[in-house]
Amino acid sequence: MKKLFAAVLMSSAVGAWADAAPEQYQSSCFACHSTGAAGAPKTHDQAAWEPRMAKGMPALVESVKKGLNAMPPTGMCSTCTDEQYTALIEFMASPAPTN
Ligand code: HEC
């Protein structure tokens, strides 16, 4: 019974993970944030994101729009809206799926 419960929990976590990545992630932010290229805070590395999130979401969205050091303005998503940037940032700062 316990095993079954764990299996159900695991598959729902994997499902949430697949659904969670916003559409634009693979085509833009992923290029740098998946590997931490050029000092980018890595996706799901909460320790790296914590001090960034402390600035507040509006400041982070501004950083992406204007660019920040090695990050080009718009983060390679020239069509993203503020809402989409917010979803992308929340996704990257979220904990890694456990499995
Ligand atoms: C070309 C590489 C690159 C791409 C593409 C990229 N980033 Fe970044 N990003 C970086 C780097 C490098 C930093 C660290 C900048 C620094 O603090 O020096 C960063 C930092 C950030 C930060 C923290 C800003 C702050 O004020 O501390 C946010 C938020 C962010 N990126 C969001 C995004 C989003 C959303 C996307 C996709 C739309 C994206 N990035 C695409 C390289 C990239």
Q: Check residue 97 and give its pLDDT.
A: 82
DSSP 9-23: HHHHHHHHHHHHS-T
Residue 2 vs residues 6, 11, 22, 42, 79: alpha-carbon distances, Å: 6, 14, 33, 34, 46
CA 75, chain centre distance (Å)? 12
> Nearest CA to 84 among 41, 44, 19, 24?
24
Distance from Cα 65 to the centre of ligand 1, integer Å: 10
Q: Check residue 16 and give its pLDDT.
A: 47
For residue 77, give the ligand 1 atom closest to its CA.
Answer: 38
Residues of the chain with pLDDT under 70: 1-20, 99
Q: Check residue 2 and give its pLDDT.
A: 56
- Going along the chain from its start, the domains and CATH numbers come out as 2-93 (1.10.760.10)
Distance from Cα 12 to the centre of ligand 1, integer Å: 29
As a whole number of angstroms, the distance between CA 97 and CA 3 comes to 19
Evaluate whether 24 touches 77 at the Cβ level (below 8 Å): yes
pTM of the model: 0.86
